Amino acid sequence: MGKDANAIYGINRWGDPYFTVLDNGDMAIATPGKPDYPPVSLPAIITNLEDRGIQLPILLRVSSFLENSLQQINESFAKAIADNDYSGAYRGVFPIKVNQQEQVIERIVSFGQQYHFGLECGSKPELIIALSQPLSDQSLIICNGIKDREFVALAMQSRKIGFNTVIVIESPNELDIVVDVARELDMDPALGVRMKLTHRVGGAWAESSGDRSAFGLTSDQVLDVVDRLRAENLLHTLVLQHSHLGSQIPDLNDVRRAVSEACRYFTELTKEGAPLCYLDLGGGLGFDYTGQKRISDHSVNYTVADYCNAIVEITGYAMNAAGIPHPHLVTESGRATVASSSMLLFNVLEATLYDSADRPEVSEDDHHLITELAALGNITHNDRLSHSLHDAVYLRDELRALFRREQIGIRELAKGERVYLNLIAKFRDLMDKADPDLQSDAREELNSIADIYHCNFSLFQSLPDVWAIDQMHPITPLQRLNETPDRHAILSDITCDSDGKIDQFVVADGVSPTLPVHKLTDDPYYLGAFYVGAYQETLGDLHNLFGDTNVVTIECTPEGGFELLHEVEGDDIAEVLTYVEYDPNDMFAAFKSRVEAAIKRGDITPSERKAITAAYKDSIRGYTYFEH
Ligand SMILES: *Cc1c(COP(=O)(O)O)cnc(C)c1O
């Protein structure tokens, strides 16, 4: 069982090793690397959390998912290093901007300790975060981004208290600040230079690579930096070369070309006298959101092991050819480290259907347009489907026009609409039985009037990249996966914004404009959006003042249960109001004085006063999402 669900949603393609379908039709999470741990049902987790008073929508983090990706990156590098007789080590860093949440950083640092995994900061606040973590002097802290004096001074001084902090010079101007601060503090910093690669990689983030990318030094500028450092007697502090390859690079060949170019700069700068010992290749390691294993914006044509092996092999070869010792390798893999670590769980509140199984009684006495419409339902085979669909739309629109011109009343209009909805149901039935290759026009049209499932979450808060850049995340129902889904839907969020919808889904044979779903019953219907750990959690905004969701971190147990490691309550309404500068106490006072005035006028009784003020007060302390 669960086989159908794999064939429909492609779960076995993108879900391994994290997700699996149970015989009872529940979506379940597995514990990677622990095949003897029974998978844990997500609907069961939701019920359990709701019993504890934690309501949907919930952002669920699974600690073993994060640990699995960290382990995978570090052990794949270790293996590639051993296989290629490479003599440097791997010293990865996590770019804080990809997920700054305290719980996530804390997990990465503590689990990453065994690998001397470090952190990358692109701003002063991120450096402040890094310096609060128990990192050893074996782990790197890499400072990228535009840096002022304060940033540079703090980074430099942190070396005195046992942090291995490297300041990466991103622009010629930054060098002045660095030289100044080093002289003032009378200490040797550890410096890096960021080289702008000319190779432009493919994919959705191509802009962050190549000549026109925002950061980094050109070959000409880096020589100035080297000469200047030599003149200031600081060249011996230049230990790292950084070249950010890009983000979510779909094609391994792009990685190979960019690494070769980075190696060329590395060997040349070494010959110039810089004692470089770290080669930092930035971000770019992609995550296969759709599981298609091919070159596309949401997939990649390589595994983590392929990526690591390509880097180690090319670097080793280039260094051997130049007669230079192998540098330690650094990557700043953000997405690949955290994408898998969390998922958004939410419930469907209601559905708007654009067809109906109810067949209205139509008789001779009805308007002739209505009887003509009803007659279209007599087709029995599907070769005229597209044609009949067009006729139906025409007749329905004529009825609407008559209504506007006061020639029919609301009851006739409503009957016409009901006949039309029943026709659509009939056409859908016919199409489902037809050869999938036939009737593609009709299929597309019927898809475009798919159901709308209204869901309890905000796209703008929880899945901002889906809205902004059409990022794809696998989304599936969390229950009834052993039943064939009988409906197709697009998803609409709880905001009053027509942009708050999802109409692109990962399915077994690729990407579909609708999601196969089940007809709603009286039972709750849950959906999950997976692999949302990278970039989504803090890019979100307060559209319609929907705030942060509840966040729960769990760990599965060997017995098939789970342990709640950490919980952060989502924003209440008072909190989101303070973000936009309201004072909830003042607001409550204003409301109360309005209630007092009504009492004075005798419009309400004292006990009504109590109820009204309590309603306001309870709301202001409530979750911003739909509660039940
Ligand atoms: C954003 C960023 C990263 C992370 O890139 P991923 O593709 O998420 O791995 C790494 N380094 C720098 C400098 C960045 O700006």
| Residue 1: pLDDT over 60 | no
Over the stretch 294-323, which tens digit does the pLDDT of each residue have? 999 999 999 999 999 999 999 999 999 999
pLDDT tens track for 554-611? 999 999 999 999 999 999 999 999 988 999 999 999 999 999 999 999 999 999 999 9
pTM, full prediction: 0.93
Task: Give the per-residue pLDDT at 439.
Answer: 66
Atom of ligand 1 nearest to the CA of 247: 7
As a whole-number percent, the residues of the chain with pLDDT over 90 amount to 84
- Ligand 1 atom closest to Cα of residue 205: 7
Which atom, in ligand 1's list, is nearest to the CA of 145? 13
For the CA of 286, the nearest atom of ligand 1 = 7
With contact defined as beta carbons under 8 Å apart, do 45 and 554 qualify?
yes
Q: Which of 332, 335, 539 to mutate to test the pocket of ligand 1 (most atoms within 8 A of CB)?
A: 332
Q: What is the pLDDT of residue 506?
A: 95
Q: How far is the CA of 244 from the centre of ligand 1 (A)?
A: 7
Atom of ligand 1 nearest to the CA of 337: 9
Query: Taking Cα atoms as reference points, which of 245, 252, 250, 246 lies closest to residue 300?
Result: 250
Distance 98 CA to ligand 1 centre (A): 8
CA 510–ligand 1 middle distance (angstroms): 27
Q: What is the pLDDT of residues 501-542, one digit of tens each?
A: 999 999 998 899 999 999 999 999 999 999 999 998 877 778
Alpha carbon nearest to ligand 1 atom 2, residue: 283
Taking the mean position of all CA atoms in its chain, how far away is CA 569? 20
Where is 190: in which H helix or E strand?
Answer: none
Residue 622 has pLDDT above 70, yes or no: yes
The ligand 1 site (C-beta within 6 Å) comprises 95, 97-98, 120, 122, 144, 244, 247-248, 282-285, 332-335
Q: How far is the CA of 443 from the centre of ligand 1 (A)?
A: 41
Residue 2 has a pLDDT of: 44
Residue nearest to atom 5 of ligand 1 (CA): 283
Q: Which residue type does 434 have?
A: A
Query: pLDDT higher for 442 or 187?
Result: 187
Please name which of 251, 193, 188 lies closest in space to residue 220, comparing C-alpha atoms: 193
Here the tokens at position 74 are 């570090």
Rounded CA-CA distance 17/68 in Å is 9
Which of 31-35, 258-262, 538-542 has the weakest average pLDDT?
538-542
The β-bridge relationship of strands 487-492 and 451-455 is parallel
- For atom 7 of ligand 1, the residue with the nearest CA is 247
Q: What is the 40 CA–ligand 1 centroid distance (Å)?
A: 33
Lowest-pLDDT range, 170-174, 266-270, 350-354, 487-491?
A: 170-174
Closest CA to 455 of 353, 351, 531: 351
pLDDT digits (tens, 9 = 90+) for 110-136: 999 999 999 999 999 999 999 999 999
Distance 483 CA to ligand 1 centre (A): 41
Going from the Cα of 335 to the center of ligand 1, the distance in angstroms, rounded, reads 8
Instruction: Look at residue 346 in the predicted model and tell me its pLDDT.
Output: 98
Q: What is the pLDDT of residue 437?
A: 66
CA 344 / ligand 1 centre spacing (Å): 23
- Rounded Cα–Cα distance for residues 341 and 101 (Å): 12
Query: What type of residue is 539?
Result: L
pLDDT reported for residue 510: 87
Place of tokens 């392929």: 306
